[in-house]
Structure 1
Amino acid sequence: MDLLRSVPIFAGIEPSRLKLIAFTADSIAYRAGQVLVRQGQPGDAAYVLVEGEAEVSVETASGDYVVATLGAGDVVGEISILCDSPRTATVTASTDVSALRVRKDSFLQLLRQFPEIAVEVMRTLAERLTHSNEELVRARNLAASRDNEA
């Protein structure tokens, strides 16, 4: 219960409801270097990082490109669940990580039952989109400056 209370998306939920969430989630641990989710694979669960850090990377023609670093309280894997699409990125533990694994059906049920969780997930997705757009602009500017130098 204390573990769940420390996660921002669950912070405002009353203790009796936190028990329901704890019952539906699996506690899982990853060692540094282990992959939590792999780009292109089907999404069957979302993960809430409880401790540790992980890197989010996407495959490009020139190799993997790290687009974000995640820490305690961050949620990963929800995009493929919400969109019913393959994973959009690979998430790899950069340190030892403990996480809560919430299966697809349970995650969607949580969003329906607890609007405050849905709002927090939307806020997180909006922040990621903003960050991705900023990274895209930086990459385009870098490519343009390289073209101008050549």
Structure 2
Amino acid sequence: MLKSEIELLKSVPLFSGIEPARLKLIAYTSDQVAYRAGQVLCRQGDPGDAAYVLTEGEADVSIATEAGDYVVAHLKTGDVVGEIAILCDVPRTATVTAKTRLSALRIRKDAFLQLVTQLPEIGTEVMRGLAVRLSRTNEELARARNQASEGTPRDKDQ
């Protein structure tokens, strides 16, 4: 099983440049987890105890609002989620729900922090990923604000 996890890690952009010995350590310290469609990986407000690397499937990231849950991102194979709560030592900032059958590597907080501090290339890639997500979230908020100021909901199918 360890060999297949190493192969999965090699295919994830975050870990693609990491030497095989280190990938083996990452695979050894992580847990392979599986979820069915609709199952929650982590819930907004819960403690951040692990990051997840999606190895198969898709998930939605949503935040709770007064008007109900609002999907702010869609994740696919190779994406990493859960690192904000770990890096900032705050509760989960969103809920992640499997959209399809999903497999992931669950990397515990201490192991993830060790990776980021010992391997600068992973830290850089994590920062890049966070910056991209922040940019998308800002665009999404601007769109929502424009829709609210127009007073009419926008139908994506029209």
> Under a length normalisation based on structure 1, what TM-score does the superposition of the two structures give?
0.96
Of 80, 83, 88, the residue aligned with 2:85 is: 80
Distance in 1, Cα, partners of 2:48 & 2:92? 6
Gap runs ≥5 in structure 2: 1-5, 153-158
CA distance in 2, matches of 1:90, 1:37: 6
Query: Which residue of 1 is the match for residue 150 of structure 2?
Result: 145
Task: Give 1:136 deviation, angstroms.
Answer: 0.7
Give the Cα–Cα distance (whole angstroms) in 2 for the partners of residues 42 and 15 of structure 1: 31
Sequence identity percentage: 70
Output one character per residue of 1:37-96: Cα deviation in whole Å (capped at 9) or x when no partner: 100111000000011000000001010000110001111110000010010000000001
3-state SS in 1 of match to 2:151: helix
SS of equivalent to 2:69: strand
Q: How many residues align?
A: 147
Distance 1:116 1:106 in 2: 16
1:64 aligns with 2:63: no
Q: CA deviation at 1:16?
A: 1.2
- Kindly report the root-mean-square deviation, in angstroms, between the aligned alpha carbons of the 2 structures: 0.9
Which 5+ residue runs of structure 1 have no aligned equivalent? none
Equivalents in 2 of 1:41, 1:57: separation in Å? 14
Q: Secondary structure, in 3 states, of the residue corresponding to 2:132?
A: helix
Give the counterpart of 1:3 among 5, 8, 12: 8
Instruction: Tell me the amino acid that sits aligned with residue 118 of structure 1.
Output: G
TM-score (norm 2): 0.91
Answering whether residue 20 of structure 2 is matched by residue 15 of structure 1, we say yes
TM superposition outliers: structure 1 runs of 4+ over 6 Å: none
